[in-house]
Each structure stands twice: as C-alpha cells, then as structure tokens.
Amino acid sequence: MPTEIELKKIVQDKYSEIALQDKAINQSSCCGAGGCSTEVYNIMSDDYTSLQGYNPDADLGLGCGLPTQFAKIKQGDVVVDLGSGAGNDAFIARAETGNIGKVIGIDFTPAMIEKARYNAEVRGLNNVEFRQGDIEKMPLTSNIADVVVSNCVLNLVPNKNGVMKEIFRILKPGGHFSISDVVLVGNLPEALRKDAEMYAGCISGAIQKEVYIELIHANGFINVVIQKEKPIVIPDDILNNYLSTEELNHFKQGDTGIYSITVFAEKPLVEKNTICTPGGGCC
C-alpha cells in the first residue's frame, strides 16, 4: 500500500487530469478515475441541475451526494467547502448564503483552484474565494465557519481523523457540517483495496461506515445524523479490470456494500473539555 505522501501525490496528479477532462468521462467512472463504464452513465453523483446557483461549467460530475441541499445554510453564513474542485458546491452554497455571506473553497490541486477561480470571476462572485491547501491542515483561522460542506472528498484523505479535528477547529461553536462521502459495510477485495487508481476513484480509500460515524463522535461532534444513504454499484466492466471471474462472483454474492452517505453533525456551543471553576458561571 502506498504511503500517505504517495497517496496524496496520486490524488493530486489524478485530479489535475480530471480538471481538464470531459464531465461525461468523470460521471461514467468512479469519481473520475480510470475504468469508465459502458453499462451506466452516472455511478455516484446526484443531479444538481435543479438547485439554485448551479452552473454546468463548475460541475465535473465528481460528487457522491448533495451536501449543500442538506446543509441548512442561512443568509449571511460563512461556508467552507472542502475539496471544492471547480466550484460546484461552493456556488450553490453561495446562492444560499447570499451577498452578505461568504464561501471559501479549499482544494489540494492547483488545476482545480485555477478552474474554480475562473468560474467565480466570470460570474462576478466577489464573496466566493478558493484557497489551495491540504484539508488535514487548512489555511483558515479557528472558529471561522458557520457551515462546512464536502462532497466525496474525505475518503481520498489518508488521515481522516486529522480532517475531522480540523473541521472541529474551524467551525464556530454551534456550527455544523453536512458531508457526503463513500463508506463500506464489509471488506473490499484485496485487488480493489490496494489499487491506487481505485483510491483516486474514491473506493479503496473508503472506511467502514461504523468507523466513520465513530470518528465523528470521537472528535467531539454532537447530534450526528445520516441525512441520506444510497448504495453504489460498480458495474462489471469496471470490476473486471481488477477481479477474476471467481473473485467478481464472490464479491457480488457477498455481504460487502459500498454506500454514499450524507452526514450532519454539530460542534457544541461549549466544548467538553471546558474547565468549570466555582463562580465561573459555565456549569
């Protein structure tokens, strides 16, 4: 298995390529990775076209949910979009937060940042900005965001616990997130789990659903709710690139499931490690 540094390089290189390729290729593959399918047109992503703020130029077909639809964004909110790509979720969030709010997109890939900034500039969206950075160490001050959204990105990050800590740090007390991601129930076949291309395709980097939810609780979030869940079916003509006929049959007949989930959680108004002293008024 590649190291964390090697995995990040794989993702950055692949998403630099994805930034320039056709949306139809991205939608017929796994998050834009290789092995496009002739069986289906859209493996993971949901339909954004009815949402206010949607623009096809910013939609690369890389998501696995609609986190902005569930994010309870209000006028004037500061929204941070993790793994903002060409700006699709950021622009929809901006339609919700309005002229008096602000949206900050963070992405690891320079080509995506360039594409997103261009999309914002041609639309005259002065309160949407895009910053290049690692979401394990975000280029943001603490307690800045009312809402954090992310669409099919955390599964690409080796240190998911580090990202959860960063989300907690940048959220204001009482703020919340709505994140769509890929999770597993059961174990992937070894060939899928180890393949770097499938890692870039959001599959082999996914973790168990129960571990994912526990990670959220362990980092201090409360009121954790799965807002939406749907199965992801990888077509045979992609799986055939990785599995023998026997392995494929075993995988399809087994109890392993790949799911897209959209999860909501809040940062408490008062952190649990707050020290209460006599007369301090916090208890």
Residue 11 within a domain: yes
pLDDT 10s digits, 184-198: 888 777 776 665 445
pLDDT at position 18: 61
Residue 282 within a domain: no
Confidence of residue 40 (pLDDT cuts 50, 70, 90): very low
pLDDT 10s digits, 216-267: 999 999 999 999 998 887 777 777 777 788 888 887 787 778 888 999 999 9
pLDDT 10s digits, 80-138: 999 998 899 999 999 999 999 999 999 988 888 999 999 999 999 999 999 999 999 99
Percent with pLDDT over 90 in the chain: 45
Residue 44 within a domain: yes
The token duo for 39 is 């069986």
Number of domains in the chain: 1
Secondary structure (DSSP) of 181-240: EEEEES---HHHHH-HHHHHTTSTT-EEHHHHHHHHHHTT-EEEEEEEEEE----HHHHT
Residue 276 within a domain: no
Amino acid symbol at 27 = Q
Model pTM score: 0.79
Residue 273 within a domain: no
Which is nearest to 26 in space by CA: 69, 66, 67, 58?
58
Residue 136 within a domain: yes
The domain of 128 spans 4-266
- CATH code of the domain covering residue 174: 3.40.50.150
Q: Cα-flanking dihedrals φ and ψ of residue 176, to 5°?
A: -150, 165
Residue 275 within a domain: no
Residue 96 within a domain: yes
Q: Would you state the torsion angle of the CA atoms of residues 174, 178, 181, 185, taken in this order, to the nearest 10 degrees?
A: 70
